[in-house]
Amino acid sequence: MDGVIPLNKEIGQTSSDYVYKLRKVLHTRKIGHTGTLDPLVDGVLPICVGQATKLVNTLTGSSKQYEGEITLGRSTTTEDREGDTVEEKKLTKAFTTEELNETFQKMTGDLTQIPPMFSAVKVNGKKLYEYARAGLEVERPERHIHIYDFHIMGEPVFDETTGYQKLKFHVQCSKGTYVRTLAVEFGHLLGYPAFMSQLTRVESAGFKIGETFTLGQIETMMENNDHSFIKTIDDVLKDVPFHELTDDEWEVRVLHGGFLEAVDGADKTKQLRAMRNGVTKALYKYDKVRDMWIPDLMLLNNK
């Protein structure tokens, strides 16, 4: 079994939990996920199986889209609803939709983030959340991210009793973005503590949430010998430009990991799919120095 499963991850489970469970359901050990989702986050989690595990880094590097909720007026240790209160500052009046939208606009483009202490980023071989649970704070490396789109969804809700304001948002962001931290930074720009009170990943690696399958659905489909929940490697790479290999290119070059010479009409700024009889056998990238296409990822056993 080779391909990618657009899984619908549920709240309360880790990405690794699903890898463990799917190994049993699919009766294979060759499985990998395409980017960790926190237990409190649900939504799209592409799972690579068999030959498609070679695509993990490629798919992980794609942009992601989320829908969630920011709560203004309180911050937490974990930057989400699971943590203890760090600071509380009640709002005396609600921010207008216009004021909130202006703040969202300030947070688009290239940004620099410091990963939260409660995260899986490693420092000196140890995960940050391990330091955090021990009550230690360590210097964290900056990471550069890009926010393609960040906007409000619907009408914000202000609670005069608690002094909190809740607002729904949509964000499209680059790999490595901590949306929890975006929520905190959003509050800082408004002069109030904030945390991410809910988050759902609605798109990843080209898969939308409406295309996903729950673990329960996958189990039932496997019992009925229905494998339609898994998308082929060619389905996943359908938007990557391709080149149909000649007999010579396939037998003399690609089969042995060799370079490809000029490919008519190929966009040298993008990857190129090397295909044999309509099936992707490798991904190539253009090398300016050699003026040739060199192997980027081999998928020779893809059928």
Q: How confident is the model at residue 119 (pLDDT cuts 50, 70, 90)?
A: low
Are both 3-62+205-234 and 64-201 of the same fold? yes
Q: Which fold has domain 240-298?
A: 2.30.130
At 113 the pLDDT is 86
| CB burial readout 260-293, b (16+ within 10 A) else e | beebeebeeeebbbbbbeeebbbbbebeeeeeeb
Q: Does 128 have pLDDT greater than 70?
A: no
**Whether residue 118 has pLDDT greater than 80:** no
pLDDT, tens digit (0-9, with 9 covering 90-100), for 249-300? 999 999 999 999 888 888 999 999 999 999 999 999 999 999 999 999 999 9
| Sequence-separated (6 or more) residues with CB below 8 Å from residue 149 | 108, 170, 171, 172
43-52, 87-96, 112-121: lowest mean pLDDT where? 112-121
Catalytic annotation present for 38: yes
Q: Which amino acid is at 85?
A: T
pLDDT over 90 (residue 230): yes
- State the CATH architecture for 64-201: 2-Layer Sandwich (3.30)
Is the Cβ–Cβ distance between 278 and 36 less than 8 Å? no
Bigger pLDDT: 140 vs 88: 88
Which residue ranges make up each domain of the chain?
Answer: 3-62+205-234, 64-201, 240-298
pTM for this prediction: 0.89
Give me the CATH topology for the region 3-62+205-234: Pseudouridine synthase (3.30.2350)
**Catalytic residue chosen out of the listed positions 38, 42, 80, 234:** 38
pLDDT of 116 above 70: no
pLDDT in tens, 5-36: 999 999 998 889 999 999 999 999 999 988 78
Is residue 15 within 8 A of residue 33, CB to CB? The reply is yes
